[in-house]
């Protein structure tokens, strides 16, 4: 099974995505969107994969580790011990992770692969031949951030997805919209 990387991120007006290892905003609707997109499968016998860097893993509150009903893949140069968790695997690189997902060990176990951060993992994923789509929530407000979403490839094209609302969303005084960009080298 060929791995297609779907990236999912939220960024404010200055393309900030984080501050001190946390999200700089609290948007319940956007978090529910993230959970639904990364969890939902058409085949109830399969799970989706979420690929993240070690700092993103560390930023997940303990009570939410691992991300429920998903196969968690954590990329780190260090050896990490995930033996106390179910469905959590450590890899040294994105390519090593992709090779394992394409192997017999994982064949038939997963449906969609989601990249959930951080910045370097997003950059590596968009530079990969496996980059398929970017689901980017654009928040119409500027927050103080120390981590930013990398520059998108110039050749991506905007597409739609029937599972993603196209109209502007609003929560409290914050407006945001979901955008989907596709690598033109992939057909849907």
Within 8 A by CB and 6+ apart from 49, the residues are: 70, 71, 73, 101, 110, 112, 113, 114
30 as an active site residue: the answer is yes
Out of 30, 67, 94, 136, pick the active-site residue. Answer: 30
23 as an active site residue: the answer is yes
8 A C-beta contact, residue 151 and residue 136: no
CA 11 to mean position of chain CA atoms: 12
Out of 23, 102, 111, 171, pick the active-site residue. Answer: 23
Hunting for tokens 């070690």 — which residue is that?
54
One-character DSSP codes across 93-115: SHHHHHHHHTSTTTTTTEEEEEE
Catalytic residues: 23, 30
């Amino acid at each position: 099974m060929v791995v297609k990387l779907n990236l999912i991120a939220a960024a404010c007006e200055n393309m900030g995505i984080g501050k001190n290892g946390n999200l700089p905003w609290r948007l319940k609707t956007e978090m529910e969107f993230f959970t639904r997109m990364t969890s939902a499968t058409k085949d109830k016998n399969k799970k989706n994969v979420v690929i993240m860097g070690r700092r993103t893993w560390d930023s997940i509150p303990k009570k939410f580790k691992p991300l429920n009903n998903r196969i968690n893949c954590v990329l780190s140069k260090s050896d990490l011990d995930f033996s106390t968790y179910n469905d959590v695997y450590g890899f040294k690189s994105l390519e090593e992770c992709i090779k394992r997902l394409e192997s017999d060990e994982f064949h038939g176990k997963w449906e969609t692969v989601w990249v959930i951060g951080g910045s370097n993992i997003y950059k590596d994923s968009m530079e990969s031949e496996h980059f398929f789509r970017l689901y980017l929530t654009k928040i119409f407000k500027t927050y103080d951030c120390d981590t930013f979403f990398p520059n998108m490839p110039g050749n991506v094209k905007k597409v739609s997805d029937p599972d993603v609302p196209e109209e502007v969303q609003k929560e409290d005084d914050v407006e945001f919209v979901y955008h989907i960009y596709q690598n033109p080298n992939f057909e849907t």
